[in-house]
Amino acid sequence: MLNFDYLNNLNEKQKEAVTYLNGPLLIVAGAGSGKTKVLTSRICHIVLSGKATANEILAVTFTNKAANEMLSRILNNLKKKKFGMPWVGTFHSICVKILRKHARAADLNYNFTIVDQEDQKKLIKNICKSENIDTKKISPNYILNIIEKWKNKGWYPKDVILKKNEKIETSFLKIYEIYQSKLIDLNACDFNDLILHCIKIFENNPDITKMYSKNFKYILVDEYQDTNFIQSKWLNLLSIENKNICCVGDDDQSIYSWRGAEIKNFLEFDQVYENTKVIRLEQNYRSSQNILSVASDLISNNQNRVGKTLITTMEEGDPVQLNCFKNGKDEAIGISDEIEKKIKKKFSYNNIAILVRAIFQTREFEERFLKIGMPYRILGGTKFYERAEIKDCVAYLRLIHQEKDDLAFERIVNNPKRSIGDSTLKNIHEFAKENNLNLERASIKMLEQNLIKPKAKIGLSLFINSLMKWRNDLIVKKSSHIKLLQIVLDESGYSAMLKNKKDLDNENRLENIKELLSAMKEFDNLESFLEHVSLATSVDQEWDGEKINMMTMHAAKGLEFDVVFLPGWEEGLFPHQKSIEEKGQNGLEEERRLAYVGITRAKKKAIISFSMNRFYQGDWIDSMASRFVDELPEKHLEKNSFFDEEINNDDDFDFNQDFEIEEGTRSPGWIRYQKRIK
């Protein structure tokens, strides 16, 4: 007798999604609605109902972790210790299997290698060198990103379509041609090729396509809202014969367009697959009703969505807190006080999260937490003073302050590149040791004695002269430590390196440096600042025990916490200025989806906050509460006393205080908001 016990733990909509086995199915699974349970139960039901064998089911996930969890749950449901599911895995792992069998159809041998990111960069560097392209101005990472974008669209070099404004991309097309040719010569492919080559095989060999399409009686896809064009096309080809494709996801959690994800795959699913059945999972098992109501009201402002209304059987819970602070420092103090005085009495540190829009925002919280001894971890990122660009800046300042700082010298002598390679540095080290000198003094002596090779000599001379000049700026000209760093970044070429070099991460690096300049304002001089950094980086933060979690909202997707703090809800920061400038309304809607993701990470308490002022690049700027704040339903909110104080002073207070601040110090968000309300 068949055992369908797994059905007993499902609500009616979940059960419907599990048992519907005829034709295309789109499961709109709201946050915390048990989509993984539905997916695994559906696979079990297909097998136990005799609709397909394990070998006839294709289940695709985005991560190995998700695939392993799926297999584990299936085994548990079937009460079997061993149960083979050969076609459960990530897009890439499934494609590798197919490509190994049909490698010749993609001009490869079956034993092809898959090159990693480092190998890709080396290959691009070599191509750039042969084509006389300066990798100091355009990074291999940036070129690879463009190539990845083309591959995600299903384009080989011959297929690339360029717009008139994409002039720089035109120069990359030849690199792409050479790159792809080199990979074939090496009997290799990159990760993006795995899907691209499979598509090529399917399109050029209908018999192969038919074989796989007939074999896969059922196809299941997790996190469908995160698929790109070529992944969607791959699924479409594999589902031609049986049409039993089931995609699970949440259009309201589509937040990865910058990685190539296309929300239209989700929104247009029923147009691509005829006779699609749509089932909405609206029962939330994670959050209190107040949290869900706030999230639902906010996301309802988006136009491009399938639509759903989340409900919960849990208690109404606490209202969502909305806190206004005078400035960013007060915001960090306010949040730490809230945790210290109220939150930690009821919840463990491990179940508390601070979710920010941009990683540079963690700095003020880290400073505060270190000061009061509150343990924390950065998930999906690095602690502020341990980030490479911050360590570089600090190293410059350390060496200016103290010429004997050999560690700082070693870090920055060739950063940015000054043609001072490892062999030159080795020679300086040996000379310093022999003559009992620090590295800077040894360098000066070697330059005087003409012991440095001509190319390195130029770079080293410029560096030493710059150090002398910067010390003069500090000691004689009495430049502030903030001004000094700005001078160093400019004259060393470090700022230009980040600004001019096309690299996806450089924008974050620049934001972190701007935040560093803000941090320095809190100290009277260079010495006190450097002392602070030393103490901050020496504090043992690896103690055992519980820690508060800090991360970006992007990194928080798929996670959940009892308590979630959402600081920095200000125009220009959130929604992010760049997102709206580059993508317009689509960018705004994705930012709103990100806000939705952030709020729905909370199980019991969600606390949103913003500041009226922020210290940015050495100046105070007045901020404006995010437009998302205006979209939060009042009846589910609880505001802090700051609102009452402001309302007493001004009956028209709606986050819009008229500070006497120069136009030049107004945030981009403030300026954009003023235009919007006029």
Q: In degrees rounded to 5, what are phi and psi of residue 164? A: -60, -35
Alpha helices in 153-287 (DSSP H): 167-185, 191-204, 206-215, 229-238, 264-267, 269-272
Alpha helices in 79-227 (DSSP H): 91-101, 117-130, 140-152, 167-185, 191-204, 206-215
Catalytic residue list contains 223? yes
Cα 124 from Cα 129, distance rounded (Å): 9
Cα 63 from Cα 73, distance rounded (Å): 16
- In 236-296, DSSP assigns E strands to 245-249, 277-281, 283-284
Residue 594 token pair: 């990100």
Of 629, 187, 546, residue with least CA distance to 374: 546
Length in residues, the chain: 678
Contact between 349 and 547 under an 8 Å Cβ cutoff? The reply is yes
Cα 267 from Cα 442, distance rounded (Å): 65
- In 258-375, DSSP assigns E strands to 277-281, 283-284, 311-312, 320-327, 352-356
Catalytic residue list contains 180? no
- Which element (helix H / strand E) includes 376? strand 376-378
DSSP readout, 4-48?
Answer: -GGGGGS-HHHHHHHH--SS-EEEEE-TTS-HHHHHHHHHHHHHH
Contact between 390 and 516 under an 8 Å Cβ cutoff? The reply is yes
Catalytic residue list contains 129? no
Judge residue 675's burial from the number of C-beta atoms within 10 Å of its C-beta, 0-12 exposed, 13-18 middle, 19 or more buried: exposed
Residue 398 token pair: 């350390």
Residue 375 token pair: 């343990």
Q: Which of 35, 305, 604, 666 is catalytic?
A: 35
Q: Which of 225, 253, 361, 424 is catalytic?
A: 253
Of 64, 18, 61, residue with least CA distance to 42: 18
Cα 673 from Cα 583, distance rounded (Å): 17
* Residue 11 CB neighbour total at 10 angstroms: 16
Catalytic residue list contains 592? no
Chain centroid to Cα 194, Å, comes to: 23
* Residue 119 CB neighbour total at 10 angstroms: 15
Residue 254 token pair: 């589509």
Q: Which of 217, 387, 601, 627 is catalytic?
A: 601
Catalytic residue list contains 386? no
Antiparallel, parallel or unpaired: β 602-616 and 619-622 = antiparallel
Q: Which of 36, 283, 486, 537 is catalytic?
A: 36
Q: Which of 193, 222, 389, 440 is catalytic?
A: 222
Cα 203 from Cα 206, distance rounded (Å): 6
Q: Is the peptide bond before 575 cis (omega within 30 degrees of 0)?
A: yes
Catalytic residue list contains 345? no
Contact between 228 and 152 under an 8 Å Cβ cutoff? The reply is yes
- Which element (helix H / strand E) includes 561? strand 561-566
Q: Which of 190, 193, 223, 251 is catalytic?
A: 223
Q: Which residues are catalytic?
A: 35-36, 222-223, 253, 601
